[in-house]
Structure 1
Amino acid sequence: MPDDVTNARVRRGAKLGKLVAGQAVRGAGVSLAVVRAGDEERAARTERALVAAAEDIVTVLGSMKGLAMKAGQLLSMFDPLEALGQTNIPPQQRERFQRKLSELCDRAPAVPFAKMRAVLEADYGRPLAEVFARFDADPVGAASIGQVYRARLHDGREVAVKVQYPGIDVAVRADAKNLALLMRMMRVVTPVLDDNALFREISSHFVDEIDYRVEAENHLAMSELYREHPFIRVPAVVPELSTAHVLVSEFAEGVRFEEIVAMPGPVRDRVGEIVFRFFVGSMLRFRHFTGDPHPGNVLLAPDGAVVFLDFGLVKHMDSAAVDFEMDCVRAAADFRAADLRALLVGYGVLDQDSPATADECLRLFHELSGWLLADADIRIPADAVSTALYALIDPRRGNFDRWRDQYAPAEHAFARRVEYGTLALLSKLGAGGNWHRIGREWVHGDDPATELGVLERDWLARAQTDTGS
């Protein structure tokens, strides 16, 4: 078995290496096309190069699954073309490129049902027909380590069955060992994601995801946390049918994220606020949150509730860490630059003798998280994530040299992933709202500023009454 694992890592490393080299060549080709060609010729060459690059990424990362596919999903969350410096590419070409990458979220290449059935029957130790009254062979979705099927139990319940890809445990561990190569790919395709702390955090948690019993516990905890919520829905788990390689939960009907994006503005604004309340609000209010905001995990139910899926990556943040986050938000929002710098030094994020001044600390926070700090109605633009991340890594902005060597605790790197993952979803929706006023419910203890906030406050009051807390 050790030889098999080593061979798997080598094979997957070679596959990644070819992708890295191919994207490096394509990146040069796109740049040359922009520089040398005329307008029509440039557009044609650029579109061909970008579509081919996207297809390579979807095909290679999608077929590899595991951590490699997770890297591709991260790519699909924002505009990697801006990170490549390709600002002259026409909008329709950018959209086509992004649309192809978005397939990694829930439409990656499928594994044949016969192989997945073998996983099911091996875990259950009996034929599939004895467990399910009906089992649809065509998957309804594909995740980074498993495929999702629709089925019916013998008691009539409609369920979603997530089945782990055969051998994915070996693949995930192999990808973790190939992390350096994955990071090299990120530098070639998009330097914005060249972040050591973030990738260490992702890889360490992702290895834990290969045991679906852990995910079932996470899923159950989030389902209980949001039980009877007025507009957030987490499908119930069927624990007696969930194993190390199979996770069974209530089947959720709903409109997929890409269809929500095409809906009228008020609908998108409402969904955006719910997404914000679920991902960021769970972290700040409950200290218990899912760390994987991406379009494939969001559905709009027929009754208007938003359904959230996939709880393989759930984190509990201790109170001291969350309090520090909120203290920094309060100081930055109130423009208390000296207090903000003192907080960063006191927590160990910033060295006392760092050349970063109090005003520079304040400027950085507003450049990275201005959408949360400004008391104004803000409609999130499509390039919001790229713009925010560039504020930190673009040497021309003056922040990179000041902050590159400072200490970033892993749990706060994880929190930033949730923040920017949420921002990416809001940007895809083009959602508008006063995000600062909504956040003040958690950060300052203010009364709700929206109708949804009132509903959530009343739900919390009922939940506390029911539990006696």
Structure 2
Amino acid sequence: MAKDRIPTSRISRTAKVSSLAAGQAARQLRTHATNLARSEEGRSAALERRHLEAAEQIVAALGTMKGAAMKLGQVMSFLDVGLVPEEHREEFQKKLGALRDAAPKVRFTDMRKVIESELEAPLGEVFKEFDEEPIAAASIGQVYRARLPDDRIVAVKVQYPGVAAAVRADMQNLGMILRLMKRIAPGLDVKNTADEIRSRIYDELDYELEAQNQRALSRIFKNHPFIVVPDVVTSLSREKVMVSEFVSGAGFDSVKEGDQATRDRVGEIVFRFYFGCMYRHRQFSGDPHPGNFLLMPDGRVAFLDFGLFKVMPRNLIELELETQRAGHEGDAQRLWEIWAEGGLLKEPDKFRPDKLLSQFLDATWWYLTDETLELEPDIATQVMIDMSDPRSEHFGQMRHETLPADHIFGRRVELLTLAVLGQLRATNNWHRIAREWMYGDDPVTALGEEEAAFYSQ
């Protein structure tokens, strides 16, 4: 297999991104000028076309890179929940999926050098068997299947040679990519988002840190009745190599084709894992990506990839839970006070509590409404629009809000979890599940009872 060189020059990569950004800016100006004479329906259609153009340019910009670009494709995957016209959505999702799955084609001889250098031993001395064909391609590395001398089957995650330098070059261009994003989501805080993305992605370059994250969750969920986080082989994990327990199971596409009961069960497990990690344990994977979990033959769900990880301070989690309680109870004044005191409103006096409540519920109603709901893909689309899009009735007020960097990935996790549940068309009373961490209520589902018994131990 030919080696695909990973470019690290910022100049060449900047030129590619700059030309795309300039082209999009010109299109936006033309759209704005033409809008002056358009009907409301025409303006909406023009906005949709602009979204499609910008989204395609972002995919093209990221696709020219080989470092952080693939990971940025995951970080920004809220594009996948429908901020492009419906008739183009399936095609665009394929493009974005290809971007997320894309990876440099690096010869195994080069990957082998990384493994042996990191483990300071020949491959044959460390592993009893090693399959040279990768079983998965990650954004900054590849995953291989191997067998240890004690016959344990393991997954070996290996970083591409030279990818760290490529990531650093990509991060210098992050501002330009985010400005393209801002044309789709004008409410985006570019500076805060850039700071948070840089921090998280630099962390991902260190597999020892990822191993630490995975170990923490593996301990939390050890012997859990339906959640599996593979064990890490600490003695064989280094900065550029991570070895963990091998797990297998059905991927997301297979689960989507399952019956309603299967999809509902997996949906509840996904919801409990991502929301539960955040609100129960204050540490969570920031990447609820369909490729990051597997339905195992015994019915448990295994969760993978903890490079994009966040630990939240207790006071911020409490602030968010207080916000959710105020929202569910319809207490607009209390919600306003929480946001004002928490620094989420630049000029609190300019905000009407009732409008703030309406905006908040438009983004969270699906898990704050005490009803059984079947989620659909379009729900995530509408929530994304209500959160950041010019089509939102709340857009004028959103521009005067500020989202602290610590909250950015929490909102992303909520939205992308919703997107996954929508694609599964999962049905449940999501609020009754959320009440377990919001109010400390007893569970009302069979899975909830199993989990309560697990935590009581």
**Residues 248/353 of structure 1: CA separation in 2 closer, same or farther (3 Å cut):** closer
Moved more, 443-452 or 10-19: 10-19
Does the CA contact (< 8 Å) of 1:236 and 1:249 recur in 2? yes
Matched, 1:415 2:410: yes
SS of residue matched to 1:64: coil
1:404 and 1:57 map into 2 onto residues whose CA distance is 23
Match of 2:333 in 1: 338
Matched, 1:118 2:121: no
2:129 and 2:20 map into 1 onto residues whose CA distance is 40
The C-alpha deviation readout for 1:425-455, integer Å capped at 9, x for no partner, is: 1122121211111000000011101100000
Does the CA contact (< 8 Å) of 1:186 and 1:193 recur in 2? no
2:261 and 2:189 map into 1 onto residues whose CA distance is 36
1:125 and 1:59 map into 2 onto residues whose CA distance is 39
Matched, 1:144 2:136: no
Q: CA deviation at 1:14?
A: 2.7
Matched, 1:441 2:441: no
Match of 2:185 in 1: 191
Unaligned runs of 5+ in 1: 29-49, 463-469
1:112 and 1:22 map into 2 onto residues whose CA distance is 36
Among candidates 397, 400, 406, match of residue 401 of structure 2: 406
Q: CA deviation at 1:328?
A: 0.6
The 5 A counterparts of 1:47-196 are 61=62, 64-79=65-80, 82-84=82-84, 86-87=85-86, 89=87, 94-106=89-101, 108-187=103-182, 190-191=184-185, 194-196=188-190
Does the CA contact (< 8 Å) of 2:186 and 2:388 recur in 1? yes
**Residues 170/130 of structure 1: CA separation in 2 closer, same or farther (3 Å cut):** same
2:110 and 2:417 map into 1 onto residues whose CA distance is 35
2:60 and 2:340 map into 1 onto residues whose CA distance is 45
1:130 and 1:26 map into 2 onto residues whose CA distance is 58
Moved more, 15-24 or 147-156: 15-24
SS of residue matched to 1:299: strand
**Residues 66/265 of structure 1: CA separation in 2 closer, same or farther (3 Å cut):** farther
Q: CA deviation at 1:310?
A: 0.8
**Residues 373/253 of structure 1: CA separation in 2 closer, same or farther (3 Å cut):** same
- The one-letter amino acid of 1:410's match is A
2:66 and 2:400 map into 1 onto residues whose CA distance is 33
Moved more, 371-380 or 447-456: 371-380
2:329 and 2:27 map into 1 onto residues whose CA distance is 46
Match of 1:254 in 2: 249
**Residues 373/273 of structure 1: CA separation in 2 closer, same or farther (3 Å cut):** same
Match of 2:299 in 1: 304
Q: TM-score, normalised by structure 2?
A: 0.87
Match of 1:356 in 2: 351
Does the CA contact (< 8 Å) of 1:297 and 1:308 recur in 2? yes
Does the CA contact (< 8 Å) of 1:192 and 1:390 recur in 2? no
Q: CA deviation at 1:65?
A: 3.5
1:251 and 1:460 map into 2 onto residues whose CA distance is 25
Unaligned runs of 5+ in 2: 1-5, 30-51
1:131 and 1:193 map into 2 onto residues whose CA distance is 51
Matched, 1:293 2:299: no
Match of 1:328 in 2: 323
Q: CA deviation at 1:19?
A: 5.4
The C-alpha deviation readout for 1:390-443, integer Å capped at 9, x for no partner, is: 113334533222122323211111211111121121122121211111000000
- The one-letter amino acid of 1:327's match is E
Does the CA contact (< 8 Å) of 1:192 and 1:386 recur in 2? no
1:22 and 1:435 map into 2 onto residues whose CA distance is 43
Match of 1:202 in 2: 197
**Residues 27/249 of structure 1: CA separation in 2 closer, same or farther (3 Å cut):** farther
Match of 1:244 in 2: 239
The C-alpha deviation readout for 1:271-316, integer Å capped at 9, x for no partner, is: 1111111111111111121111111211111101010001112222
Q: CA deviation at 1:111?
A: 2.5
1:333 and 1:124 map into 2 onto residues whose CA distance is 52
**Residues 263/8 of structure 1: CA separation in 2 closer, same or farther (3 Å cut):** same
Does the CA contact (< 8 Å) of 1:291 and 1:314 recur in 2? yes
Matched, 1:229 2:224: yes
Among candidates 309, 314, 318, match of residue 314 of structure 1: 309
Among candidates 259, 278, 281, match of residue 283 of structure 1: 278
- The one-letter amino acid of 1:457's match is A
2:349 and 2:409 map into 1 onto residues whose CA distance is 24
2:382 and 2:186 map into 1 onto residues whose CA distance is 10
**Residues 112/232 of structure 1: CA separation in 2 closer, same or farther (3 Å cut):** same
How many pairs align? 431
- The one-letter amino acid of 2:314's match is S
Q: CA deviation at 1:102?
A: 1.6
2:372 and 2:258 map into 1 onto residues whose CA distance is 20
- The one-letter amino acid of 1:256's match is G
Q: CA RMSD in A?
A: 2.9
Does the CA contact (< 8 Å) of 1:76 and 1:104 recur in 2? no
Among candidates 374, 384, 409, match of residue 379 of structure 2: 384
2:348 and 2:312 map into 1 onto residues whose CA distance is 29
Identity %: 46
**Residues 194/338 of structure 1: CA separation in 2 closer, same or farther (3 Å cut):** closer
2:237 and 2:295 map into 1 onto residues whose CA distance is 25
